[in-house]
Chains A and B, each alone.
Chain A
Amino acid sequence: MIEFGIQPGTIDQIKWAGTDLGDAGEFSRQSWSMTMHGGQSPVVRHGSEHLRAVRVVCNGRLGLAASRTDAWDNLLREARLAALSGPETSMDVSEVPGGRVYMSKSHWDPHMLPKMEVTLRHIYENLQELSPDFRPSVTVSYYERTTHFVTSLGGQAAWLHGYWEVTAGGRQVDGTDFHGVSGVRIKGDGIPDTASLINDLRERFQWGKSRRTIESGQYPIVFLPPVAMGLFGPVLARLSGPALVAGNSPWKDQQDQQILSSMLSLFSDAAVPDGPQTGPFDDEGTATSRHPLIAEGILKHFVLDRDASRRLGHEPIGMGYRTAFNAPIQSLPANLMVLPGAASFSQLLNRFPHLLVLNGWIGGRPTNPMRGDIAGNASDLYWVENGVVVGRVKNAVISVNAFEALRGQLLEVGQEAQWVTQGMMQAAPGNIPPLLIDRVDVALKQ
Chain B
Amino acid sequence: MIDHALEDGVLSTLKTLAMQTSADDLEIRLELNETTQIDTLDDRIIRQSHVSDIGGNVRVLVKGVYGFVHFDGWENLAIHVDEAILLATWGHHQAPPFHMTPTAPIQLIQRLDVKENPLTVPLDGKGALLRHYADIAHSAHPTIKSVTTRYFDRYRHLWFANNHGTAIEQEKLDLGGNIIVVARDRQGVAQRGVSFGSSNDFGVVRQLDDAVHDAAITAASLLDAPEIVGGEYTVVVDPQLAGVFAHEAFGHLSEADGQVGDPGLLGEMYLGRQFGPENLHIYDTGRDLGSRGYLPIDDEGVAAEDVDLIKDGVLVGRLHSRETAARLGETPTGNARALHYRFPPIVRMRNTVIAPGTAALDDLFQGIGKGIYAKGSLGGQTNGELFTFLAAEAYLIENGQVTRPLRNAVLTGNVFSTLAQITAVGNDFTRYESGGGCGKAGQMPLPVSHHAPSLRIERCLVGGRRQ
A residues contacting B by CB (< 8 A) are: 2-6, 37-51, 64-70, 82, 85-88, 113-114, 117, 133, 135, 171-178, 180, 216-218, 242, 245-248, 250, 326, 328, 360, 362-365, 367-368, 370-371, 373, 375-377, 379, 395, 397-401, 423-424, 441, 443, 445-446
Contacts and interface: CB of A to CB of B under 8 A. Distances in A.
B45 A87 contact: yes
Interface stretch (B83-91, B203-211, B427-435): B83-91
Interface string B431-449: 0000000010010100000
B54 A3 contact: yes
Interface in B371-416: 378-392, 407-410, 412-414, 416
A326 B416 contact: no
| Contact-residue bracket for chain B | 35 or more
Nearest to A136: B261
Nearest to B266: A173
B93 A37 contact: no
Given A45-B87, A87-B46, A176-B268, 14 more contacts: A5-B73, A37-B261, A40-B324, A47-B70, A49-B342, A64-B49, A87-B47, A362-B387, A362-B388, A365-B390, A370-B182, A376-B463, A379-B386, A445-B414
B335 to A, nearest CB: 15
A196 to B, nearest CB: 24
Contacts of B380: 363
Nearest to B40: A87
16 contacts: A5-B74, A42-B65, A45-B67, A45-B344, A70-B52, A135-B261, A180-B383, A242-B41, A360-B383, A362-B412, A371-B189, A375-B410, A377-B387, A377-B388, A397-B230, A443-B462
A86 B72 contact: no
B95 A42 contact: yes
Contacts of A246: 41-42, 145-146, 148, 182
A69 B73 contact: yes
Given A242-B148, A362-B386, A445-B461, A176 B73 contact: no
A285 B182 CA distance: 33
B167 to A, nearest CB: 19
Nearest to B414: A395
Given A42-B65, A216-B467, A395-B414, A86 B52 contact: no
Interface in B259-312: 260-265, 267-268
Contacts of A326: 51, 53
B2 interface: yes
Given A69-B73, A399-B464, A362 B47 contact: no
Contacts of A371: 188-190, 407-408
Contacts of B69: 45-47
A68 B53 CA distance: 6
The list of the 9 closest CB pairs from A to B, nearest first, reads A39-B261, A363-B388, A375-B463, A173-B264, A443-B230, A178-B385, A375-B410, A38-B261, A39-B260
A68 B387 contact: no
B381 A443 contact: no
B231 interface: yes
Contacts, number: 285
A79 B90 CA distance: 44
Contacts of B32: 2
Given A362-B386, A375-B230, A113 B91 contact: yes
B176 interface: no
A148 B234 CA distance: 57
A248 B188 contact: no
Given A44-B88, A326-B53, A443 B461 contact: yes
A6 B73 CA distance: 5
Contacts of A242: 41, 148
B48 A4 contact: no
Interface in B74-105: 74-75, 83, 87-88, 90-93, 95, 98
B153 interface: no
B114 to A, nearest CB: 20
Contacts of A177: 385
A4 B73 contact: yes
A80 to B, nearest CB: 14
Contacts of A398: 463
Contacts of B52: 2, 66-70
Nearest to B182: A248
Given A41-B61, A328-B47, A397 B407 contact: no
Contact of B66 (A43, A85, A395): A43
Nearest to B69: A46
Interface string B451-467: 00000000101111111
A401 B342 contact: no
B362 interface: no
A65 B385 CA distance: 44
Given A178-B383, A178-B385, A363-B410, A44 B66 contact: yes
Interface hub of B1, B66, B264 (most chain A Cβ within 10 A): B264
A43 B344 contact: yes
A69 B439 CA distance: 28
A308 B394 CA distance: 34
Contact of B124 (A38, A85, A172, A248): A85
Nearest to B55: A68
Contact of B93 (A48, A117, A367, A395): A117
A362 B386 CA distance: 7
B255 interface: no
B164 interface: no
Contact of A50 (B44, B45, B73, B182): B73
Contacts of B462: 397, 443
B145 A41 contact: no
Contact of B98 (A4, A41, A49, A173): A41
A173 B265 CA distance: 6
